[in-house]
A = this chain, B = another copy of it.
């Protein structure tokens, strides 16, 4: 099988994960080039000597044999990178979100479509083995028709305030994963959003114009619903659970603990805390999403998560924000 030639833009935390995963685990891929404005070229060369490195994305996107671009730069540059890649006719894997602006997101998704360029969004959680197993069970009819999806999605702590200020807010930055997950599990589209938002973790979050605690009800086309419970800070760690209730049964996906030791002492029976760093918790899903991207390119198969999916989650996030602001359920049809 022919190998896919890839270039990566941005090798911060996430870019490095993708790069290492490709080098270590994928036989179907050639990492041809990497670009990063900030990363020292020397250091890169020392560790990844054979790979072409540049501080300029354009140097890398323009390489003829590169077939696909993996965009891991900061959110604010996603739009420009996508545009550059589309114009060069390269397929794209982009970390979520496409852009904080709904208009621009829509325009980019359409541009990619028009150009026949594949655009996959990095909703990595869809590739978590446990969530995939849940989906597989749903599709196999194991729990019948889904009636309710309940997502608990709590971070282990506040990100830096500077990050929050540029994040697009809790719904666009954090809950967007859960909005996508609800659609993924339900297999239907959202028609109404009702969100409550609070600042309970840190008052500075309010000063930054954001919330740190939220509850969102998503109503789907047929009236069934999902509830998403977000907090920026669960003192016991990264809480990522899903419960799906159907007329033939229920699936619960529990947290992934640090270890399987159970200690009984005079005070109780104690289990370890959930993995608290998202890169540990979702290590397998970062690997999985990239594998799926590469496979889709190799087989010219449909992508498992598309720009459209990114757009839909963004619309929900915009509706959620509006719902909090106006204190009422917002119809998806109201957004644009």
Which residues does A use to contact B, with CB under 8 Å? 23-25, 129-130, 133-134, 137, 142-145, 147-148, 150, 152, 154, 194, 196, 198, 200-201, 213, 215, 217, 219, 223-225, 227, 229, 231, 233-236, 239, 243, 245, 247-273, 327-329
Nearest-neighbour CB distance to chain B for A47, whole angstroms, equals 9
Q: A137-B263, A329-B328 are in contact. Are A227 and B224 (CB under 8 A)?
A: no
- On chain B, the residues within 8 Å of A267 by CB distance are 270, 273
Interface centre among A133, A201, A219, A250 (most CB of B within 10 A): A250
The distance in angstroms between the C-alpha atoms of A18 and B257, with both chains bound, is 27
- On chain B, the residues within 8 Å of A250 by CB distance are 234, 236, 239, 263-265
The distance in angstroms between the C-alpha atoms of A135 and B262, with both chains bound, is 13
The distance in angstroms between the C-alpha atoms of A327 and B264, with both chains bound, is 32
- On chain B, the residues within 8 Å of A259 by CB distance are 129-130, 133
The distance in angstroms between the C-alpha atoms of A94 and B82, with both chains bound, is 51
In the complex the two chains form, is B270's CB within 8 Å of A245's CB?
Answer: no
- On chain B, the residues within 8 Å of A25 by CB distance are 24
A235 in complex: contacting residue of B252, B265, B270, CB < 8 Å: B265
- On chain B, the residues within 8 Å of A150 by CB distance are 150, 152, 229
In the complex the two chains form, is A261's CB within 8 Å of B251's CB?
Answer: yes
In the complex the two chains form, is B213's CB within 8 Å of A147's CB?
Answer: yes
In the complex the two chains form, is B225's CB within 8 Å of A196's CB?
Answer: yes
A148 in complex: contacting residue of B147, B215, B252, B273, CB < 8 Å: B215
Q: A262-B252, A329-B327 are in contact. Are A217 and B194 (CB under 8 A)?
A: yes
- On chain B, the residues within 8 Å of A328 by CB distance are 328-329
A196 in complex: contacting residue of B219, B231, B257, B264, CB < 8 Å: B219
The distance in angstroms between the C-alpha atoms of A23 and B25, with both chains bound, is 11
- On chain B, the residues within 8 Å of A273 by CB distance are 264, 266-269
Nearest-neighbour CB distance to chain B for A132, whole angstroms, equals 9
In the complex the two chains form, is B247's CB within 8 Å of A147's CB?
Answer: no
Q: A269-B270, A269-B271 are in contact. Are A251 and B263 (CB under 8 A)?
A: yes
In the complex the two chains form, is B251's CB within 8 Å of A224's CB?
Answer: no
In the complex the two chains form, is A269's CB within 8 Å of B129's CB?
Answer: no
In the complex the two chains form, is A247's CB within 8 Å of B200's CB?
Answer: yes
Nearest-neighbour CB distance to chain B for A279, whole angstroms, equals 16
Which residue on B lies nearest to A246, using beta carbons? Answer: B235
In the complex the two chains form, is B231's CB within 8 Å of A147's CB?
Answer: yes
The distance in angstroms between the C-alpha atoms of A219 and B265, with both chains bound, is 25
Nearest-neighbour CB distance to chain B for A155, whole angstroms, equals 13
Nearest-neighbour CB distance to chain B for A77, whole angstroms, equals 30
- On chain B, the residues within 8 Å of A133 by CB distance are 258-259, 261, 272
In the complex the two chains form, is B249's CB within 8 Å of A224's CB?
Answer: no
The distance in angstroms between the C-alpha atoms of A252 and B194, with both chains bound, is 25
In the complex the two chains form, is A223's CB within 8 Å of B198's CB?
Answer: yes
- On chain B, the residues within 8 Å of A260 by CB distance are 130, 253-256
Q: A130-B261, A256-B260 are in contact. Are A235 and B198 (CB under 8 A)?
A: no
A217 in complex: contacting residue of B196, B213, B264, CB < 8 Å: B196
